[in-house]
Amino acid sequence: MTSYWCEQAWLNDAVADRVRVSLDNEGTIQHVEAGVEPARGDEALAGMVLPGFANAHSHAFHRALRGRTHASDSAGTGRAESTFWLWRERMYELAARLDPDAYLRLATATYAEMARAGYSCVGEFHYLHHDADGTPYDPPNAMADVLREAARRAGIRLTLIDACYLTGGIGEPLTGVQRRFGDGDADGWAARVDDLALDPNTRIGLAAHSVRAVPADQLATVAHAARDRPLHMHLSEQPAENTACLSHYGRSPTTLLAEHGLLGPSSTAVHATHLRPDDVRVLGESGTTACFCPTTERDLGDGIGPASALAEAGSPLALGSDQHAVIDPFEDARAVEMNERLASGQRGRFSPAQLVTAATAAGHASLGWPEAGRIRVGAPCDLVGISTHTVRTAGATAEQVMFAATAADIHTVVVNGRPVVAQGCHVLGDVGRLLTEAIEPLWGELR
Ligand SMILES: [Zn+2]
């Protein structure tokens, strides 16, 4: 039996001193003891140890957009030209260029960056299903298989969230590169996702991309296909989505999704930014998780969603790095609190313990791994060791580490009992080099 001995660790929503965590050969925790000295053979972890983080919302290929969507205007005045539409144009250029080989390189490097940042599990909201002109691959889930392989190589668990994506907007057909995303109708999509198998590192979730991309008469098919599996959906990220939904269907996106059976304790609404009080109530009463992606939402200028109102209404809060402008779970977690401080003029909307739960246990539950995200018997042994004497963390209390640390302060990451990061180094080596080698060829002809 392997044992880790932690100087301090997060147990039962609080900090405990001198904790030994023992696990079996499958990587499952068998014993947890606090207040003990290290024994011979224990792997000692200095500083503060948190459970593994869950990245509840990822589009791996968007990592290639980081630092490429903030242009000055073409007239040379030096003014910014960084609209949402410039971002989307770049995203489509990129989506058109990815084949399975390029995607394997990019997703492996991106997931390695996540593991380096303390994520033990990622929920990949996957819609890059087919070849660039919409022709299915052989096998039809070749791109999903690429994501599984990337997660396995990077040492991170995967929930493959296969998204139904049928229209380019309400009442608009898919055009151009969007044809990669479509399966004709929800039945065609459901038949393809039926072939997605579990493996020890992968669980399957499903998604309705959004009310923009799935017509109302197709939503019930998506809900039925998901049954008790995780069901995710983008919700009310931009006011334009609400306006289009109201004018076409006469109801808000939240109401439309509720009417077709897409909300509930297995469901996760991603963003949930522009909600009416009624929407907040419906989401909370249904037990739907709200997945906030603050570093993406600020990058895209989406707005600040009602995180504490949703939590008070009954929605668990999860977190995702989404388009990966930043991959740092500390930054996303504290941004939820900091954004509310700015918007409300009040401090202390979320406690440090609530932010840890959002980043760990609630995120894993949203991704269909309810046993994970806590340091306790029966959970997979996912541990994140944080140095408490760096220039950022020195002097902070262990309880408040979420408000001080960054991903760069992590020295060790253990996923399912296996060390994936040791002394700050990922098992695949230099992750910056992997990212460079994956991303630069994609933009080579466009510079
Ligand atoms: Zn998204």
Question: Burial, 82: exposed, middle or buried (Cβ in 10 Å; 0-12, 13-18, 19+)?
Answer: middle
Residue 319, amino acid: L
Cα of 272 from ligand 1 centre, angstroms: 11
133 is catalytic: no
**Encoding tokens for residue 339?**
């954004």
pTM above 0.95, yes or no: yes
Q: Other CB atoms closer than 10 Å to residue 192's CB: what's the count? A: 20
Cα of 232 from ligand 1 centre, angstroms: 10
Is the distance from CB of 104 to CB of 143 less than 8 angstroms?
no
Q: What was the pLDDT predicted at 70?
A: 85
Residue where the block lists tokens 């180094």: 425
Is the distance from CB of 330 to CB of 405 less than 8 angstroms?
yes
Residue where the block lists tokens 């004018």: 247
**CA angle at 253 for the pair 248 and 257, rounded to the nearest 5°:** 110
131 is catalytic: no
Cα of 12 from ligand 1 centre, angstroms: 31
Indicate the Cα dihedral angle 404, 409, 412, 415, nearest 10°: 60
Cα of 346 from ligand 1 centre, angstroms: 29
Cα of 17 from ligand 1 centre, angstroms: 38
Task: Give, in order, the Cα–Cα distances in Å from 128 to each of 189, 230, 258, 440.
Answer: 13, 19, 26, 20
In the set 322, 328, 332, 409, the catalytic residue is: 322
Alpha carbons 423 and 401: distance in angstroms, whole number: 19
The tens place of each residue's pLDDT in the chain, 447 residues long, gives 799 999 999 999 999 999 999 999 999 999 999 999 999 999 999 999 999 999 999 999 999 999 998 876 666 666 666 677 778 888 999 999 999 999 999 999 999 999 999 999 999 999 999 999 999 999 999 999 999 999 999 999 999 999 999 999 999 999 999 999 999 999 999 999 999 988 999 999 999 999 999 999 999 999 999 988 999 999 999 999 999 999 999 999 999 999 999 999 999 999 999 999 999 999 999 999 999 999 999 999 999 999 999 999 999 999 999 999 999 999 999 999 999 999 999 999 999 999 999 999 999 999 999 999 999 999 999 999 999 999 999 999 999 999 999 999 999 999 999 999 999 999 999 999 999 999 999 998 544
Q: What distance lies between CA 284 and its chain's CA centroid?
A: 21
**Encoding tokens for residue 443?**
């933009």
Alpha carbons 101 and 14: distance in angstroms, whole number: 44
**Encoding tokens for residue 7?**
């100087």
**Encoding tokens for residue 118?**
């303390």
Alpha carbons 426 and 111: distance in angstroms, whole number: 11
Residue where the block lists tokens 């740092």: 328
In the set 209, 234, 271, 426, the catalytic residue is: 271
